[in-house]
Structures are given as C-alpha cells and as structure tokens.
Amino acid sequence: WRITSLLYICSIVMCRGQRPKMTITIFLKIMGLAFLEPVIDQNLYFMGAKLTSAGFATALVNILPAVTFVLALLLRMEKVRLRSLHSQAKIAGTVLTVAGAVLMVLYHGPIVQFPWTKGQHHATASGQGAGGAADARDWLNGTIMVIIACVAWACFFILQSNTLRSYPAELSLTVLICGMGSLMSGAIALVAERANTQAWVIGFDMRLFTAVYAGIVCSGVAYYVQGIVSRQRGPVFVTAFNPLCMIITAVMGSIILKEEINLGSVIGAAIIVGGLYFLIWGKSKDEISKAGGSSKGAGELPLTSVT
C-alpha cells in the first residue's frame, strides 16, 4: 500500500489536469488488468519458480511473445500477409519460440558444468533417491503454473494496450492497477495463509527486499514503462525483449543460487532467442512499412480537376 500511495502522489503531480474521465467500461478493464497481472501472473509465476527453478521459469516464460502474437492476431491487432517476407518471419519466430519452450520442458539432458557450479550436481543427486517421483511431480506442476502465468501476462498486455486507447494516462493506470491488485492479492493471501501467522512476519532481510523490489520494479515501474511502449509500438513489440530477463536470471541463478543448467535448457533457450530475433525483425519491417505509408500519404498532393 505504501508503494501504491507513492505512485498515486507521483500521478497527481505528473498528470495534473490530464487524467481522462473514468467510465464503467474502463473501470471493469482496470479490474481485469489487476486480476490478470498482479494476482494470477505473479502468484502463479512465483509458485512455479519455487517448484522448478528461477532459471527454468524465466526461460519457459519466453513463450510470452508467441502467445501475445497469437492473441493479437486473433483479435486483429496484428496483420499477417502470407506472401510477405516480414510476415513469414513473424510466423517462423512464433513457431521457433514455442518449439524451444517445448524442448526445454520435454528434454533435460546432462548438466552443463560451469566453473562456479562444479561439485553441486553430485551433492544434489545424492539426495534425490526416494523423492524422485515427488520432484518430477513438483516440476510438472510448476511448469503448468508458469505456462498459465504466461498466458495471463499475455492477456494483460493485450488488455493494457486496448485500455490505453480510451484511457491514455499510463501513470494513473499503473496506480489503479497496483491499488486494485493489492486489494485482490491481500484477500487471497488472508485466505491462503490463515493458519500460518509466520508468513506475515517480515524483518529486515531478503523477504523484505524481495517484496519491495517486486512492488516498485516488477509492478510499478514495469507497468508504467510497458504502457508507454505498448501505446506507441503495440503489445507484441513490448514482449519481444523478454529473453533479456532469461539471460540475466540464468546467469545470476547459476552464480548466486548455484542452480544447475541442463543441456535441454541451453538448446531450448538458443532456439527461443533465434525465434525472437525473427519476430523482432518482422515487427521492425512492419513499423518501417507503416512509417513509409504514412509519409507517402502525407507527401501526395490531392487530385483536383479543372473544369
């Protein structure tokens, strides 16, 4: 709530006299945004990352651009011409992204050893034994949670782009999403942790830092910046840069948390990144075509007839 209050003060100062009129339709869209992103996406993503690993969850969520592209295509926010090279690149990028994510889920392979993870594999494998089936079940459940979170995140981007057309105030929209998301998440947490009072005890430790970082960066700053870019370039362009998160998380998870990276994750991640480059290239050609068409239309003289 303190983070939401801080964002509200910033919105009052920066958006004075620029806040659009609130309607029932816009309010319902904002409630949908708050339910999709802070509630469904973040909770399921964190639970999935806990059951699998931070590196795997971040790599699997790279299907986000493909899911967003498919949803935008179904809702006619994206156009595809099969004979166009850049449209073919967008389709190929979408297929490669999904194929890479499927490979990461179905194929693990041997552990890729790094200088800072040597010796970790043997210590971990010795403790698996009877818990192997439970670990596999947790891994499957975590994977399903991350996939559902990814779909909810893609729906959030689509709905955010649509909402900004009728409510073009990114910072005010961010404040409203965070506020409603806090109410919904608080209600769910009260029910889920009603028997665990220790879950509400927060000291000056990593839990406090994680909560503050998630509230300020992952919610406040992210929603605001994503809203600005989505309003100008569309939701597909925003999600196309998601692999940066995968690379940073995989490196930091391996170094700090000593997480193991298997060969399937490396190959799948490479395929995902390659597919995303195709998708970004196709989108960039779309933007160039739009800009060229606009400048051409602006430069043409109106036809007149002399009688």
Which DSSP helix (H) or strand (E) runs through 262?
A: strand 261-262
Q: What is the pLDDT of residue 16?
A: 56
Minimum mean pLDDT range among 81-95, 128-142, 286-300:
286-300
Full residue range of the structural domain in which residue 143 is found = 2-11+23-119+133-188+203-285
pLDDT for the residue 102: 78
More confident residue, 296 or 218: 218
**Does 222 fall in a domain?**
yes
| pLDDT number for residue 225 | 87
Asked, for residue 304, whether it belongs to a domain, the answer is no
pLDDT at res. 288? 64
Task: Mention every residue, 6+ apart, whose C-beta is less than 8 A from residue 216.
Answer: 3
Q: Is residue 269 part of a domain?
A: yes
Give the span between the Cα atoms of 132 and 289, in whole angstroms: 53
**pLDDT-wise least confident of 13-27, 52-66, 132-146, 292-306:** 292-306
Q: How confident is the model at residue 286 (pLDDT cuts 50, 70, 90)?
A: low
Which pLDDT belongs to residue 150? 92
Can you tell me the mean pLDDT for 141-146? 92
pLDDT at residue 156 above 90?
Answer: yes
Please tell me the predicted confidence (pLDDT) of residue 32: 94
Q: Is the pLDDT of residue 302 over 50?
A: no
127 lies in a domain? no
Q: Is residue 295 part of a domain?
A: no
Q: What is the pLDDT of residues 111-143, one digit of tens each?
A: 877 666 665 544 343 334 444 555 778 888 999
Query: Is 80 exceeded by the pLDDT of residue 294?
Result: no
Q: Residue 189 corresponds to which tokens in the numbers above?
A: 């947490």
Three-class secondary structure of residue 260 per DSSP:
coil
Is the Cα torsion angle 65, 69, 71, 75 positive or negative in sign? positive
Please list, in sequence order, all residues whose beta carbon lies within 8 angstroms of the beta carbon of residue 3, skipping any fewer than 6 positions away: 178, 212, 215, 216, 219, 220
Lowest mean pLDDT among 122-136, 140-154, 182-196: 122-136
Contacts of 107 (CB under 8 A, 6+ apart): 263, 264, 267, 268
**Residue 103 and residue 98: Cα distance in Å, rounded?**
9
pLDDT averaged over every residue in the chain: 77
Contacts with 19 (C-beta within 8 Å, 6 or more apart), sequence order? 11, 169, 172
pLDDT at residue 31, as a whole number:
92
CB 250 within 8 A of CB 297: no
Asked whether residue 35 is domain-assigned, the answer is: yes
At a CB cut-off of 8 Å and minimum separation 6, what does 260 contact? 111, 112, 117, 120, 121, 124, 254
The pLDDT value recorded for residue 292 is 57
> What pLDDT shows up at residue 127?
39
Q: Please state the rounded mean pLDDT for residues 15-29.
A: 78
Instruction: Provide the number of structural domains found in the chain.
Output: 1
Please check whether residue 291 lies inside any domain of the structure: no
Contacts of 38 (CB under 8 A, 6+ apart): 177, 178, 181, 182, 184, 185, 219
Structure tokens at 138: 């947790």
Burial 228-253 (b: 16+ CB within 10 A, else e): eebbebbbbbbbbebbeebeebbeeb
Q: Note whether residue 229 is domain-resident.
A: yes
Q: What is the pLDDT of residue 217?
A: 81
Tell me the helices (H) and strands (E) count for the chain, helix number first: 14, 2
Q: Identify the pLDDT of residue 29.
A: 93
pLDDT tens per residue, range 25-73: 999 999 999 999 888 998 899 899 889 887 788 778 878 888 888 898 8
Residue 1, pLDDT score:
46
Is beta strand 111-112 parallel, antiparallel or unpaired with respect to 261-262? antiparallel
Which pLDDT tens digit goes with each residue over 207-262? 788 878 877 887 778 888 888 888 888 888 888 777 667 667 767 777 777 777 77
How many angstroms separate the CA atoms of 9 and 15, rounded? 10
From 4-13, 105-114, 178-187, 224-233, the region with the lowest mean pLDDT? 4-13
3-state secondary structure of 84: coil
45, 62 Cβ separation under 8 angstroms:
no
